[in-house]
Every structure is written in C-alpha cells, then in structure tokens.
Amino acid sequence: MATPSFQRLGTSIDVPNVQALAASIANPADVPPRYVRPEAKADPVVSDGDSELPVIDFSRLLHRRFSREESAKLHHACADWGFFQLINHGVPDQAMEKMKADIVEFFKLPLEQKKAFAQLPNSLEGYGQIFVVSDDQELDWADIMYLITRPLQSRNIDLWPAQPLTFRDSLSCYSMELKGVAGTLLEVMAKNLGVAPEEFSTIFQDQPQGVRINYYPPCPRADEVLGISPHTDGSGLTLLLQVNDVVGLQIRKGGNWFPVKPLPGALIANIGDIIEILSNGVYKSVEHRAIINAKKERHSIATFHGPREDLMVGPLSEIVKECKPKYVSMSYKEFMKTYFSAKLEGRSLMESLKL
C-alpha cells in the first residue's frame, strides 16, 4: 500500500499520513499492524452516567456573590479529577465557530497543500506528527498541526496555514480569547492553593501558549486503534475545544476510562504536569487518551498554557512549608526536552519525577 509519509520530530523516521492512509483502506485487514493497539479495548470503560465530569461556571467565578462557592468547586475539580467542563467562559461564539470551520476546511485540503506547512526536522511546529521516537513504535491514528501562538514574537507565521484564507486571523483571535480565560483560571487556582496570584503571574509571565489541532479519521477497526496514546499534558493548563459532535476524549480515574461528552459551547479544561509539580501533587495531571470512531471523523483543538522558559519547575515553597516536596526540581527547558523526546506512556514521566 503506497502512502505519503512525513519526517517526524527529531528523527529520520517516516510514517504514513494517517488521513491518506485511512482513505486508502478497503477492508479492516488493511490497517497496518503498527496501528493495531490491543490495549485499546483491554482496559474497562465506565458506562454512560456512571460518573460526571465537574462543571465550572466561569461567570460565577467573576461574580462577587458566587465566586467563593464556585472557587471551592474549582478547587475540588482540580484536586479530585484534574479535569472539568468550563461553561459561560465568555469566548464569543463567533470566535469559536470560525476556528472550528477553518479547522475542518484545512483538513479537507489536498495532501500536497497541507504538506506545505509540514514540520521541519527537529521542530515541533507544523503539520504532521510528534512523539515518534523509533522505527518499530506503535503509532497513533491521527494527524496533527502544532503551532506556537504566544508570545507573539515566537509565532512562525510561515507554518500557519494560508488556506482557508481566514485561518490565521481565526487562530489569532481564538488564542487571544483563551489567554484571558486561562489567566483568570490560573489566578483563582493560585488563591485556592494559598499562593499569591502575583507569583503565578510571574511563573506564567506572558502566558506562553501553543495549540495542537487534531484530526482523527474514521477506522474500520476503531476499537483496536488509538487516536492519541494515554498521556498527561506537559503544560500548566490545557483548554480543549471539540470541533464536531463525535466524542473521543477519555480520562483515567480509579483505574477505569471515563468518556467525556462535552456540553454545548463548553471548553474542557485539564491540569498539566507543571501545575501538579508546582502544587506538590495537590492538583492532579490526569492520564487521558483519544479513541476513534468507526464511521465518523473527529476534530479538536487543544490550547496549552505553559510557564516562562527560564522557570525552575518544582514544588512551591508556600505549599511545602509543612510537608516534604514530592517531586524533583528541574529547569522547564530540561523538563520539556524530556517530555518531547519520549513516546507517550501514561504517567511514566511524572512518576519518574517523584522523590
């Protein structure tokens, strides 16, 4: 089966473009062995209604009358779940709908047009794939576009799709809206942790931000492949927008996988590794994965908010005054180098950082 391929991050490894691969499959037996993942259906998945992801009303966080109650709900969500749905977040519907429409249109483009924005060797940014570190590694059933959106001077506009024509403006507007939402959430989290909001403002100075736009083609062996392998996010805070109504995100809680069904207009927020370490484990960076639909494609856009580049990542002194640090301290650059140089393997990196 002849399929297009890309050079993956930091390697000379070529793997097929999954969108083209999916379109070429005539029967289930044609799915290449490297994509078949027996563990995809080995772990139990909870039935609908067994658990509900916490829902946080952003507007109540901003309201003097309700902010204390909603802040307590946010604290519980971050400490117990590490995930929550964010409603009434104030991001204009137009900004979200334009972003959604442009994502769908980009992945409809012919492969050659998309390859104009392909990742360069040893670079995260662009169209292709990441976390492929060996020639015999099992692969995820997805293609992605990763772009740095903040700080503004770090943008590589040459890798931002020029088609559809509105893509660049849509992404710039959307990323700015999410910057405001993330900034407020980080401020409330700091207060909940007993940390001065000004310290979090310094840690997340200029709010470095990147987006990963995900495309998951349908697969006839959907229960035997994975869109994204189980992992935690190497960011501080992630905000995910579901582009269409095909569900696929699952989070691990209590040894089971829990499917997330986004509420209309909601953002799915989750704690990243950096905040778990800063909070000394009070807030949880929870393992999650993406599954595939047998008949329908799925799109999403994850926006990652990280700390400033020169940060020394470790438990904050205010939090470990009366307890021992649970994690090693290391530079953020070293942390990210380690994060992106390994394949996705659940919480293995976080566990390795524990004292």
Beta bridge partners of 238: 270, 304
Q: Which amino acid, residue 263?
A: L
Instruction: Kindly report, residue by residue over 218-269, the tens digit of the pLDDT.
Output: 998 898 899 998 999 999 999 999 999 999 999 999 888 999 999 999 999 9
Q: Which residues lie closer than 8 Å to 270 by C-beta, 6 or more apart? A: 82, 83, 84, 233, 237, 238, 240, 251, 285, 286, 288
Instruction: Kindly report, residue by residue over 316-334, the tens digit of the pLDDT.
Output: 999 998 889 999 999 999 9
pLDDT at residue 342 greater than cutoff 70 = no
Alpha helices in the chain (DSSP H): 18-24, 58-61, 67-76, 93-108, 111-115, 167-192, 197-203, 273-278, 332-340, 348-352
Give this prediction's pTM: 0.92
DSSP letter (8 states) at residue 176: H
Task: Return the closest-CA partner of residue 332 out of 203, 245, 243.
Answer: 203
The chain-wide mean pLDDT, for the chain, equals 88
In which residue are the tokens 């929550």 written?
A: 84
Confidence of residue 6 (pLDDT cuts 50, 70, 90): very low
Least confident of 13-22, 172-181, 251-260, 279-288: 13-22
Instruction: Kindly report, residue by residue over 15-34, the tens digit of the pLDDT.
Output: 557 777 777 676 766 788 88
Give the integer Cα–Cα distance in Å for 213 and 162.
15
Q: Can you list the domains of the chain with their CATH numbers? A: 31-353 (2.60.120.330)
In which residue are the tokens 């908010």 written?
A: 305
Please give the distance of CA 334 from its chain centroid, rounded to a whole number: 20
3 state DSSP class of 290: strand
pLDDT given for residue 1 in this prediction: 26
